Amino acid sequence: MKIIDRLSSGKVTVSCELFPPKAGKPLEDAKRIVRETAKLSPSYISVTCGAGGTTNDNTIEIASEVQRACGCTALAHVVCMGSTKEKIAAQLRQLKSHGIENVLALRGDVPLTGDTSRDYEHASDLIEEIARNHDFCIGAACYPEGHPESPSLRNDIDGLKRKIDAGAQFLTTQMFFDNNILYNFMFRLLRAGVNVPVTAGIMPITDARQIERTIKLSNASLPQRFYMIVDRFRDRPASMKQAGIAYATEQIIDLIANGIDNIHIYTMNKPDIAGSIIHNLSEIFDNSVS
Ligand code: FAD
């Protein structure tokens, strides 16, 4: 199943993201997490990938588990930073041989050493190559608050248009905690003539220790309302978890009410948390999820 068909169906979709274990680590626990996540009946499950091919094999293995063992559509992330054309071609062939039809094509972060791949400069190079030589539904990343390397959001949207011109069929957003940021971004995309489906990335923050790392990685700003929740509940893990689930639930209700039909949950490999959110929205999702 090509994900683009679901994303453009006009129905609400809910997808979940998982990350595979590091190379060489056992897969049993990750496979259990896949099974538990698949029981939530998401529209698809995405599987992240380390830069430079560090977790490629496990990405393929876990994406295959999603698809073959659990009967759920898989979206495999493919990262070109630090890779070569040969390695990427081999990876795509392997994905195909596992029946995987959907990829999220990414550049990856520039390593601290600054040592980048010469074969690909941007995700758009990877997307162009996949679109030209392979038959995949291709997604790309977008950043409602701008990518950290971009001098401006306008500049970033120009980069985004290059990815779409190269063959990206849908976009998944970086996490955001203030829906107004997404609405503003959607307006700018519309004005720039970008009209591919956009999946809104929601990260449930259920542990106060997550926050610092999350902001550092995502560059997302946190609204005052969110800070007050963390301030109040940071030392009470069960309360923080409940509040984080409620915050994500409310964010999603507001998004759907405002016509954002495609929701992506960054599950951080916690199916119970994704499950609580999906349960909270059962009437909303049941009536419209494809
Ligand atoms: P690009 O699209 O290449 O963008 C990088 C920068 O270059 C941006 O500032 C952009 O504006 C600019 N730009 C883009 N195209 C051009 C162009 N043609 N010319 C000039 N400038 C350009 N990382 C991982 O390692 N593994 C993952 O599994 C992973 N999954 C992710 C999933 C999502 C939904 C998101 C939002 C991010 C994910 N990342 C992942 C992180 C991502 O790899 C980093 O944010 C990385 O720094 C940028 O990747 P990109 O594909 O957006 O790059």
For 162-195, the pLDDT digits (tens) are 999 999 999 999 999 999 999 999 999 999 999 9
- What is the Å distance from ligand 1's center to 105 Cα? 9
pLDDT tens, residue by residue, 83-115:
899 999 999 999 999 999 999 999 998 876 666
Residue 217 confidence (pLDDT): 80
CA 206 to mean position of chain CA atoms: 18
Residue 114 confidence (pLDDT): 67
Contact 92, 130 (CB under 8 A): yes
d(CA 214, CA 194): 28
Q: How confident is the model at residue 253 (pLDDT cuts 50, 70, 90)?
A: very high
Residue 160 confidence (pLDDT): 98
Residue 109 confidence (pLDDT): 87
- What is the Å distance from ligand 1's center to 108 Cα? 6
> What is the chain's mean pLDDT, rounded?
93
- What is the Å distance from ligand 1's center to 55 Cα? 17
Question: Which residues neighbour 26 within 8 Å (Cβ) at sequence distance 6 or greater?
Answer: none
Question: Which residues neighbour 286 within 8 Å (Cβ) at sequence distance 6 or greater?
Answer: none
Is the model's pLDDT at 238 over the cut of 60? yes
Contact 75, 44 (CB under 8 A): yes
Closest CA relative to residue 71, chosen from 45, 104, 91: 45
- What is the Å distance from ligand 1's center to 148 Cα? 10
Q: In the chain, helix, strand, coil percent, each to 5?
A: 50, 15, 40
Ligand 1 atom nearest the C-alpha of 142 is 36
Angle at 107 between CA 179 and CA 164, to 5 degrees: 65
d(CA 69, CA 146): 37
Ligand 1 pocket: which of 77, 83, 102, 106 to mutate (most atoms <8 Å of CB)? Answer: 106
Residue 24 confidence (pLDDT): 80
Q: In Å, what is the CA distance from 275 to each residue of 12, 169, 249?
A: 17, 28, 11
Residue 117 confidence (pLDDT): 62
Q: What is the mean pLDDT of residues 256-279?
A: 97
Question: To which residue do tokens 């068909």 refer?
Answer: 5
Ligand 1 pocket: which of 128, 147, 173, 215 to mutate (most atoms <8 Å of CB)? Answer: 147
d(CA 7, CA 10): 7
Position 7, amino acid = L
- What is the Å distance from ligand 1's center to 106 Cα? 5
Ligand 1 neighbours, Cβ below 6 Å, are: 48-51, 77, 79, 104, 106-109, 122-124, 141, 147, 149-150, 156, 159, 162-163, 172, 174, 201
Q: What is the mean pLDDT of residues 266-285?
A: 96
The protein residue whose alpha carbon is closest to atom 24 in ligand 1 is 108
d(CA 91, CA 130): 11
d(CA 142, CA 57): 25
Q: What is the mean pLDDT of residues 256-273?
A: 97
Catalytic site positions: 17
d(CA 93, CA 95): 5
**H or E, element range at 142:** strand 137-142
Is the model's pLDDT at 53 over the cut of 60? no
**H or E, element range at 238:** helix 237-257
Residue 14 confidence (pLDDT): 97
The protein residue whose alpha carbon is closest to atom 47 in ligand 1 is 109
Q: What is the mean pLDDT of residues 24-33?
A: 92
